[in-house]
Amino acid sequence: METTTLNIRGLNYHIQEWGDSKKPLLVLLHGWMDCGATFKFMADYLTEHYCLVAPDWRGFGNTDHAAGYWFPDYYADLEKILDHYSPTKPAKLVGHSMGGNIALMYAGIHPHRVSKVLSLEALGMQPTQSNETPEKYRRWMREITSGEPSKVYPNFDALCYSVHKGNPSLEPDIIVELANLWGEPHGEEGAYRLRHDHAHRYANPVRYNFDDVIEVWKEITADVGLVMATESSFYKRFNQFGRMHEAMTLLNIAKTAYFEIPDCGHMLHIEQPEATANSILEFFA
């Protein structure tokens, strides 16, 4: 793995790269509270065929923190990243969770810039209702004006325990790798904290309107694929409120472009990297 830094809209963007730059480009987009480097677990299965590029989104990993976080900024950031890596050709995108939602939206906003897009565990979010709006604004104002600091772990073992608690199926050596990727030393007493900007945890005051998402999805001209993990809460929730069937129809996802990974939770690119990579290879073949 090599790393590079690009100035993307005034921020120093940290970007991981794997493989031969002469091979076809595959852009990997990470999810919330993750970073681009965790695609390393499946990179070895993909670099025979592709050059991989995985940015850390603004305020995650080693990319600069921003003054604030507005979801459309991710689309504009992706636009500038593609200007650098794929200025003349439509790109192939793979996005996990939040990264998958960004990839699908971008593919509808600028259809000419995306040839194929594969979503890992992402089909939009649960809509919010109008009667939730007052409390959403109150909660956001409480959090953004509180000055609440990010959580500090007294030592590296405490950070590893927290990572393991959220990912109980992973082997100890993977937990240690993730703790190093997600965390950083804090202070002089051996303490650690997570690298991401704590502001990412603040409530979003703006309602999520799935009707708007549908209209953007209708503009997608790229082939769309979907990978779901059968033990994920996303898989269960999407099926419960009908999102899976609705999205498969709206996005024209063919049966041959839908993949399920058994015995796997939401972080499928870490839990089952080979199976996830095989789904990617089959979709983009």
Please return the burial class of 269, using the count of CB atoms within 10 Å of its CB with bins 0-12, 13-18 and 19+.
buried
CB distance 18 to 1 below 8 Å:
yes
82's tokens: 């593609």
Q: Give the residues across from 152 on adjacent strands.
A: 193
Burial state string for 60-92 with b = 16 or more CB within 10 A and e = fewer than 16: bbbbbbbeebeeebbbebbeebbeebbeeebbb
How far apart (Å, rounded) are the C-alpha atoms in residues 84 and 96? 22
**CATH class label, 2-127+208-284:** alpha beta
83's tokens: 């200007």
pLDDT tens digits, 68-106: 899 999 999 999 999 999 999 999 999 999 999 999 999
DSSP single-letter state for residue 222: S
CB distance 170 to 270 below 8 Å:
yes
Q: Is 213 helix (H, G, I), strand (E, B) or coil?
A: helix
How far apart (Å, rounded) are the C-alpha atoms in residues 2 and 46? 15
* Residue 14 dihedral angles phi and psi, to the nearest 5°: -95, 125
How far apart (Å, rounded) are the C-alpha atoms in residues 71 and 229? 25
Residue 105 half-sphere exposure toward CB, CA atoms < 13 A: 24
Going edge to edge, which strands form the sheet with 11-18?
2-8, 11-18, 51-55, 25-29, 91-96, 114-120, 223-229, 258-261
How far apart (Å, rounded) are the C-alpha atoms in residues 27 and 97? 15
How far apart (Å, rounded) are the C-alpha atoms in residues 184 and 172? 18
Taken as a whole, the chain contains a residue count of 285
pLDDT tens digits, 251-273: 999 999 999 999 999 999 999 99
281-4-162 Cα angle (round to 5)? 75
**Per-residue model confidence as pLDDT tens for the chain (285 residues):** 899 999 999 999 999 999 999 999 999 999 999 999 999 999 999 999 999 999 999 999 999 999 989 999 999 999 999 999 999 999 999 999 999 999 999 999 999 999 999 999 999 998 888 999 999 999 999 999 988 888 999 999 999 999 999 999 999 999 999 999 999 999 878 999 999 999 999 989 988 999 999 999 999 999 999 999 999 999 999 998 899 999 999 999 999 999 999 999 999 999 999 999 999 999 999
Q: What are the start and end residues of each CATH 3.40.50.1820 domain in the chain?
A: 2-127+208-284
Output the pLDDT for position 88.
95
How far apart (Å, rounded) are the C-alpha atoms in residues 266 and 255? 21
Output the pLDDT for position 145.
92
